[in-house]
Amino acid sequence: MLCFDSVALRHADGTRALDGVSLDVPAGQFCVVLGASGAGKSTLLRTVNGLARPTTGAVRVQGTPVAPRNLARLRPRIGMIHQQFNLVARATVAQNVLCGALPAMPLWRMLPGLFTDTARRKACALIEAVGLGEEHLLRRVSELSGGQQQRVGIARAFMLDPPLVLADEPVASLDPQTSHDVLDLLRRQARERGATVLCSLHQLDLAREFADRIVALRKGRVVFDGAPQAFGPAAFEAVYGRMAEASATAASPVGSRSSPAPALSPQPQPPLPAGLLELAP
Ligand SMILES: Nc1ncnc2c1ncn2[C@@H]1O[C@H](COP(=O)(O)OP(=O)(O)OP(=O)(O)O)[C@@H](O)[C@H]1O
């Protein structure tokens, strides 16, 4: 379904965001990408829908290379769920979900927002499937809670029945219980529709609970790739580096709903760079 072939991405300032990532994600898999902040998770996802271009290597979706000439053909096949929901705040729930059909619409229908009856019915069915009743259809999304907004985001992502869904930290701004419910919903929807999911997360406990497979990055490299049960203290240390084994276990026991906490030991404070001292008021 999805193939990363020796993918490296170096930014103009020299930052190596991805460094030789090779992965095959088979159809139907719920694959979670873990890693500390800056490890390259978002960049990896963005190479799949063409928002980031690898410096070397290739990404293929169902055998089609992700390249500018193929993007119009690929985008309807890739649903996207964002950390900050990326909904149109002033538009209604129904309008936002219908927007998920735009990548497959001709321009003459897209500009005036001429959605077909089939699309409207599909949007209603999806809104119900994600647990939002009819009373929510015409509510502005700005009036919804974070969890409800992400349900709208999930419904929108499935509008075109994409075989592949990318979810970039979909629960980062939600409380632990809502995070659990939203991931449960995402996995159920993906299973029912046979979709493959590549989902970046910070919460190891949620990854262990929902993933079929965990791929962990550190500094743009894959440092763990395996079943959630195989992600033990050694993998934790490989991914999060400085965190001690004991604090790792305490921070994120299996089944807990908290995010990994930073190591508790006090760190010596380095001196402020000279440039910052000059910024005194
Ligand atoms: N436009 C850019 N120019 C230079 N460096 C960038 C740019 N965008 C991202 N980076 C760097 O690339 C690396 C990977 O970033 P990325 O956003 O993929 O990490 P991440 O694992 O998703 O982090 P987070 O969990 O904090 O969202 C980081 O070092 C980041 O600072």
Q: Which two tokens stand for residue 74?
A: 């690929």
DSSP at 229 = G
**Helix %, strand %, coil % for the chain, to 5?**
40, 20, 40
What distance in angstroms lies between residue 98's CA and the mean position of ligand 1's atoms? 31
Q: Provide residues with CB under 6 Å of ligand 1.
A: 11, 13, 15, 17, 35, 37-43
Q: What is the pLDDT of residue 246?
A: 47
What distance in angstroms lies between residue 10's CA and the mean position of ligand 1's atoms? 10
Tens-place pLDDT, residues 156-207:
999 999 999 999 999 988 888 989 998 999 999 999 999 999 999 999 999 9
What distance in angstroms lies between residue 16's CA and the mean position of ligand 1's atoms? 9
Q: What is the pLDDT of residue 159?
A: 94
Q: What is the pLDDT of residue 278?
A: 57
Distance of CA 81 to the CA centre of its chain: 6
| CA–CA gap between residue 78 and residue 45 (Å, rounded) | 11
Pocket probe for ligand 1: among 9, 13, 15, the residue whose CB has the most ligand atoms within 8 Å is: 15
Mean pLDDT across the chain: 86
What predicted TM-score, i.e. pTM, was given to this entire model?
Answer: 0.84
Ligand 1 atom showing the smallest separation from residue 220 Cα: 14
Q: Residue 167: which of 103, 96, 82 has the closest Cα?
A: 82
What distance in angstroms lies between residue 133's CA and the mean position of ligand 1's atoms? 38
Q: What is the pLDDT of residue 111?
A: 65
Q: What is the pLDDT of residue 270?
A: 63
Low-confidence ranges of the chain (pLDDT < 70): 109-113, 242-281
| Domain residue limits, the chain | 2-87+162-258
Q: What is the pLDDT of residue 242?
A: 59
Tens-place pLDDT, residues 2-22:
999 999 999 999 999 999 999
Does domain 2-87+162-258 sit in CATH 3.40.50.300?
Answer: yes
Q: What is the pLDDT of residue 258?
A: 38
Q: What is the pLDDT of residue 113?
A: 66
Residue 232: CB atoms within 10 Å: 13
In the chain, the N- to C-terminal Cα span, in Å, equals 55
**CA dist 211 to 9, 173, 194, 225, Å?**
26, 20, 15, 12
| CA–CA gap between residue 140 and residue 163 (Å, rounded) | 29
Q: Which residue has the tokens 């979709």?
A: 195
